[in-house]
Amino acid sequence: MTAPVVKGRCPGALNPMMSGDGLVVRIRPFNGRLRRAQADGIATLATAHGNGMLDISSRGNIQLRGVTDQSHPPLIQGLRHMALVDASADIEARRNVLVTPFWITGDETEVFAADLTEALTAGDAPALPHKFGFAVDTGKEPVLQTASADIRLERDVAGGLILVADGAGSGKPVTSESIITEAMALADWFLENRQDQNRMAALVKTGLPLPPGFIVPRQTQTYVPAPGYTPLGAMVGLALGQLRVETLSSLAKHGGLRMTPWRLLLVENARELPDVEGLIWSADDPLLRVIACTGAPRCPQGHADARGIARHLAPHIPQGQFCHVSGCAKGCAHPKTADITVTGTPDGLSLIRNGRAEDTPQATGLSPQDIIKAI
Ligand code: SF4
């Protein structure tokens, strides 16, 4: 199998990444939210400067595709007008903050997200590895535990705030006043001790003891993300995390958008949404059982049309199981285990059960039909 190229960074708006269909420009909405005007503005800019397709990433970011060297500067200018880009590419790379979508205006979660953003964009912020991130998950119960993050802000079962190093079962009790300072101190601790590790869970797994105080058991997440109406608005699903500019523009007419890592968007205060094309409303929709990366031909490393294959396989994935289709062994869309993983290789598809895209396959050289027969 040809080894994928590991670039070690995610694209940004100021630091876009070349793909098979042009530059990928990833916007990191501040505090996990797009105001209606921002969402509509992104749709307009993606029409003018991209190819009209948008992706929602597994970190709740939104990316434009098909941007060119010529269209990138006016795109950034437009994003700047809407306060959607950082002062520099370095600051943008550090501002990896995932926020629970279930906050209420003015509550502590909103304040923590803003304060954490301020700390990470300050001149003296720790120079963390590019994929290192934070999760502000300070609702009553955690909802982001399956999403990628290295330092987590959560609550214990009694409602007290705790700071968590990803991969550890216990957190450190903190206060509303100390939580951001403590989070930065934990980031500094990681940098001082990481050796060659880029992620907190990998460092914790080495057995290195955390600093003193990480003694309060975490809550275990029971929340299962699904489309539907919530007290805060309508949660809508996006097949394979993609949407067209027209869909984004339609959603923006109904409310601000809260980003999630689950290929779902929360449309604030929406009590009733028209049947907008491209949205998933049922938790039973087979398309929610599959995830896929960009794949070939848009990603130059792709050996398979991951999204096309995922759509083809979706109706055959048993309910309750999850299938990841990856264009190559890098596994960008889901760098974790899945019940069924299908990996593109130069010699056909590989099938991996309960593993990741890079793991040893149970069978190789398969076609999509072979995969359907095997599952
Ligand atoms: S996993 Fe998919 S998106 Fe990532 S490099 Fe491979 S083909 Fe490209």
Pair 101, 202 in one domain: yes
Pair 159, 207 in one domain: yes
Pair 170, 65 in one domain: no
Domain-embedded: residue 41? yes
Number of other CB atoms surrounding residue 266 within 10 Å: 22
Number of folded domains in the chain?
Answer: 3
- Closest ligand 1 atom to Cα of 300: 8
Strands 22-27, 17-19: pairing is antiparallel
* Cβ 225 under 6 angstroms from ligand 1: no
Tens digit of each residue's pLDDT (9 = 90 or more) over 134-177: 999 999 999 999 999 999 999 999 999 999 999 999 999 999 99
Rounded Cα distance between 56 and 372, Å, is 27
Pair 230, 248 in one domain: yes
Residue that has been written with the tokens 């990316």 in this structure:
63
- Closest ligand 1 atom to Cα of 19: 8
- Closest ligand 1 atom to Cα of 357: 1
Instruction: State the amino acid at position 78 in one-letter form.
Output: G
- In three state form, how does the secondary structure of the chain look? CCCCCCCCCCCCCCCCEEECCEEEEEECCHHHEECHHHHHHHHHHHHHHCCCEEEECCCCCEEEEEECCCCHHHHHHHHHHCCCCCCCHHHHHHCCEEECCCCCCCCHHHHHHHHHHHHHHCCCCCCCCCCCCEEECCCCCCCCCCCCCCEEEEECCCCCEEEEECCCCEEEECCCCCHHHHHHHHHHHHHHHCCCCCCHHHHHHCCCCCCCCCCEECCCCCCCCCCEEECCEEEEEEHHHEEEHHHHHHHHCCCCEEECCCCEEEEECCCCCCCCCCEECCCCCHHHHEEECCCCCCCCCCCCCHHHHHHHHHHHCCCCCCEEEECCCCCCCCCCCEEEEEEEECCEEEEEEEECCCCCCCEEEECHHHHHHHC
Pocket test for ligand 1, best of 1, 293, 356 (most atoms within 8 A of CB): 293
Pair 263, 299 in one domain: no
Decide if 57 contacts 26 (C-beta within 8 A). yes
Measured in whole angstroms, the distance separating CA 109 from the mean position of its chain's CA atoms is 19
Domain-embedded: residue 70? yes
Pair 99, 198 in one domain: yes
Decide if 153 contacts 110 (C-beta within 8 A). no
Residue 135 lies in domain = 92-217
Pocket test for ligand 1, best of 18, 240, 290, 326 (most atoms within 8 A of CB): 326
Pair 163, 105 in one domain: yes
Domain-embedded: residue 135? yes
Domain-embedded: residue 132? yes
What the block records as the tokens of 258 is 């809260």
Q: Is the pLDDT of residue 9 over 70?
A: no
Q: Whose CA is nearest to atom 5 of ligand 1?
A: 301
Averaged pLDDT for residues 280-306 = 94
Residue 134 phi, psi (nearest 5): -120, 145
Domain-embedded: residue 1? no
Tens digit of each residue's pLDDT (9 = 90 or more) over 22-52: 999 999 999 999 999 999 999 999 999 999 9
Pocket test for ligand 1, best of 7, 17, 301 (most atoms within 8 A of CB): 301
Domain-embedded: residue 8? no
* Cβ 317 under 6 angstroms from ligand 1: no
Give 300 Cα–ligand 1 centroid separation in angstroms: 8
* Cβ 76 under 6 angstroms from ligand 1: no
Give the end of a domain, one of 259, 280, 301: 280
The more confident residue out of 207 and 298 is 207
* Cβ 310 under 6 angstroms from ligand 1: no
Domain-embedded: residue 3? no
Pair 96, 195 in one domain: yes
Q: Give the pLDDT score at 1.
A: 43
* Cβ 327 under 6 angstroms from ligand 1: yes
Give 116 Cα–ligand 1 centroid separation in angstroms: 31
Pair 231, 84 in one domain: yes
Decide if 249 contacts 276 (C-beta within 8 A). no
CATH of the domain at 276: 3.90.480.10
Q: Give the pLDDT score at 19.
A: 87
Average pLDDT, the chain: 95
Domain-embedded: residue 4? no
Decide if 232 contacts 102 (C-beta within 8 A). yes
Averaged pLDDT for residues 15-20 = 90
- Closest ligand 1 atom to Cα of 303: 7
CATH of the domain at 123: 3.40.50
Give the end of a domain, one of 200, 217, 234: 217
Pair 202, 244 in one domain: no
Measured in whole angstroms, the distance separating CA 322 from the mean position of its chain's CA atoms is 17
Q: Is the pLDDT of residue 6 over 90?
A: no
Number of other CB atoms surrounding residue 296 within 10 Å: 18
CATH of the domain at 363: 3.30.413.10
Give 55 Cα–ligand 1 centroid separation in angstroms: 14
Averaged pLDDT for residues 119-133 = 94
Q: How far apart are the first and last CA of the chain?
A: 23
Residue 204 phi, psi (nearest 5): -60, -40
Tens digit of each residue's pLDDT (9 = 90 or more) over 227-263: 999 999 999 999 999 999 999 999 999 999 999 999 9
Pair 103, 80 in one domain: no
Number of other CB atoms surrounding residue 176 within 10 Å: 12
Pair 69, 96 in one domain: no
Give the end of a domain, one of 242, 260, 280: 280
* Cβ 331 under 6 angstroms from ligand 1: yes
Give 337 Cα–ligand 1 centroid separation in angstroms: 16
